[in-house]
Amino acid sequence: MQQIQTLPTVSLPKTPKNIQVVRRDGSTTDLNITKIRSVVQWACAEKDVNPITLEAGLTTRLKNGVTTREIQDNLIDCALSMCSPQEPEWRYVAGRLHIWSLWKDTLVSRGFGYDNYPQSVAFQVAAERYDKAILKYSPEELAVAGSWINQDWDLDYDYAGAVLLTKRYLLTDELPQEAYLTCALLLAQLEKPENRLAVAKQFYTAIAERKISLATPILANLRIPNGSLSSCFIVAMDDNLESIFSEITNTARISKNGGGVGVNVSRIRATGSWVMGKDKASGGIVPWIKLLNDTAIAVNQGGRRAGAVTVGVDVWHLDVPEFLEMQTENGDQRRKAYDVFPQLVIPDEFMRRVEAKAEWALVDPYEVKAQLGIELASLWGEDFERAYARIEAELGKKIKLYKKINARELFKEIMRSQVETGMPYLAFKDTINRANPNKHEGYIPGVNLCCESFSNVKPGVEGHSCNLVSLNLANIAETEIAHICQLAVRILDNTIDITSPPFEASKAHNDKYRTIGVGAMGLADWLAKRSLTYKSISEIDFLFEEIGYWCTKASMELSKDRGAYAAFRGSEWNQGKLIGAKPVEWFLEHAQDQERWVKLSQDIQQYGIRNSHITAIAPNTSSSLVQGCSASILPVYSKFFYDKWAKGTVPIAPPFIKDAFWFYHENKTLDQKIVIKAVATIQKWIDTGISMELLFNLNQGVYFPDEPERSLKAKDILDTLLMAWQEGCKAVYYIRTVQKDDFKESIDGCAACAN
């Protein structure tokens, strides 16, 4: 283990005498305040804190028979209690003390620390915690890899990050750098033998320095035998029992492996529809959603947490009003589903009618198909609009089962549910499908659990699957972007070939589309570090142009060596279009560095592209704490706050709060139209989606300093949501509200993905 340097002593309060301390191995010894002092000095080194105050707080808590663990925990409690906006670095002191305990506990438990990586691998394989695939590397290669470990990288975590890392991601008797190194080696296992160590070293350095964040399924499951590494899945149900129960089974398999899943139910007949020739026999979509709800509870990711399922339905479906009431307390409890995450799939035509306060018709997909031969769920854009006009012309004639409603009033009901529960999510179907590079092979029915990842889905044939990583913008210099993007794309492309898909349609999708999602986190920190804000649109625009370009180029370069994805021929990529299925002329007009896009378009047409979708920005709510940065690309909720955890409150603050305090926008008081403008700017360079939460403060005077008595009205929220659609955002994730000054945000916004 790392040696702790003994620093000069300081004048301290009197230390209690005749105290026996119980070590971790059960033996006892006299209390030695010098050892405590050296740990305190080490934990406080290079931080803007006074170590004397930490030890002074501890000495009042010592008693005979105290354990070394209790001393360590007391030091942590003292450090956390002193953390404040004025002295935020105490949270790093607490993080180091937590890591010190982990080091000591591991040393006692297994008998060695970081000094012998091959021994650690053998130990974990023997305990059946590590997949035997790691033994593809010889003991000599493992020894070389072990020499890369930098134990000092363990000291960069604040307390929230250190606790989440150890509790959620590390295996029994495992240290952080061992986890990262083992992941890097496994991610590189299929590289050419002469290159794989070199590639693994690059992977390890980027992961351990927290420049690339592995999504939770990769970091948690990669090292264990037969782990599924994909974060995001989407399946769709056909209107028959075989399809419905098959997809419920697939949902259970996904949940077992820790993935989040979107299930589209738009094809299922509505309440009161025909069953076996009998009218009014169908119970509609809600009973099937309830089965999905109970599946998510029953298959609880190995006891770690409940499964997570978003259920999507198109906004023209006759059951939409009851769908919006599934999570209310009133009504028939047998038709409630409190544990799923509802999602509405919305075409442009509906949004235009919301703007115009025009009429909208809700219909039964079974009757529409039976009477008019239209599979309405599969249509979008002009095809949908023509079909919908034909359906409306048949209302009361061939179409008997329908309901007319004012589109604006329906949208108000949607908004009311969002303000009360945060949901439904909104997926703008036409925007999503216009940007789909694989229109020649199908359509995208909706979005995944966190609204950032989606591609073609065919019931029973292709289930959307995606692997994710994120770039930590807080830790990446501009000169590193190209290299880090290249590594991120390579990591994810390798992940496709080593994962164990949880169901057959997932494997088919992986093989055909090779969908990946390179995301980003820490934008708030990137801006603050450079004295910029969310109004710095030009700088945000170029940053994500860089990310979009280098990730796309990296996938093209991989295609030269490994071949294009199977459905490339006939795709928008194949036709010379680029991110978002946009023609190269768009890039000549909007890009800040234009000519490189022309060359990239030509190269893709010549060499292909390895991955059909490449970039997607996940919420990263918990993993950003491990990364020590702000979540995703959104502003920080608050510059400093305490979050409630099981063992008390934990201080949360962005990394540069001390030096860039004034440049952090607080989302709890920020006009959300500023957020939408920034997200829409980023979306131009992201070929899949972005998890965009909107946070509305309902207190008086927050957004209207000249009108202190005025608070946000429903019309203000409506205008903001309309703006999201108009500006080209693909989806709206949670709607959060601040209703009183002591409102606290949970860190578990995306409980299943935890990307």
Residue % of the chain over a pLDDT of 70: 94
Cα–Cα dist 496/327, whole Å: 36
**Could you tell me the end-to-end alpha-carbon distance of the chain, in angstroms, rounded to an integer?**
31
pLDDT value of position 647: 66
> Which residue out of 78, 232, 450, 729 is catalytically annotated?
450
Whether the per-residue pLDDT at 733 is higher than 80: the answer is yes
Whether the per-residue pLDDT at 12 is higher than 50: the answer is no
Token readout for 707 is: 């009108």
DSSP label of 608? -
pLDDT value of position 302: 57
Q: Check if 448 is active-site.
A: yes
Tell me the pLDDT of the chain averaged across its residues.
92
Secondary structure element (H or E) that encloses residue 70, with its range: helix 68-82
Whether the per-residue pLDDT at 19 is higher than 50: the answer is yes
pTM, 2 dp: 0.93
Whether the per-residue pLDDT at 638 is higher than 70: the answer is yes
One-letter amino acid at 370 equals A
Q: Are 426 and 690 a contacting pair, CB within 8 Å?
A: no
The pLDDT tens digits for 161-191 are 999 999 999 999 999 999 999 999 999 999 9
Whether the per-residue pLDDT at 298 is higher than 50: the answer is yes
Token readout for 606 is: 């010549």
Q: Check if 753 is active-site.
A: no
Please state the domain extents for the chain: 1-113, 114-209, 466-738
> Which residue out of 448, 472, 475, 755 is catalytically annotated?
448
SS3 for 372-404 is HCCCHHHCCHHHHHHHHHHHHHCECCCECCEEE
- The band of 8, judged by pLDDT with boundaries at 50, 70 and 90, is very low
- The band of 755, judged by pLDDT with boundaries at 50, 70 and 90, is very low
DSSP per-residue string spanning 299-351: S-GGGTS--EEEEEEETTBTTHHHHHTTTSSSS-GGG--TTSEEEEEE-HHHH
pLDDT value of position 304: 58
The pLDDT tens digits for 426-453 are 999 999 999 999 999 999 999 999 999 9
Angle at 423 between CA 421 and CA 426, to 5 degrees: 165
Question: Is it true that domain 466-738 has CATH number 3.20.70.20?
Answer: yes
pLDDT value of position 231: 86
pLDDT value of position 190: 94
- The band of 744, judged by pLDDT with boundaries at 50, 70 and 90, is very low
Secondary structure element (H or E) that encloses residue 426, with its range: strand 425-428
Q: Are 660 and 531 a contacting pair, CB within 8 Å?
A: yes
- The band of 360, judged by pLDDT with boundaries at 50, 70 and 90, is very high
pLDDT value of position 228: 82
Tell me the average pLDDT across 471-480. Answer: 97
> Which residue out of 452, 545, 693, 745 is catalytically annotated?
452
pLDDT value of position 740: 58
Q: Check if 44 is active-site.
A: no
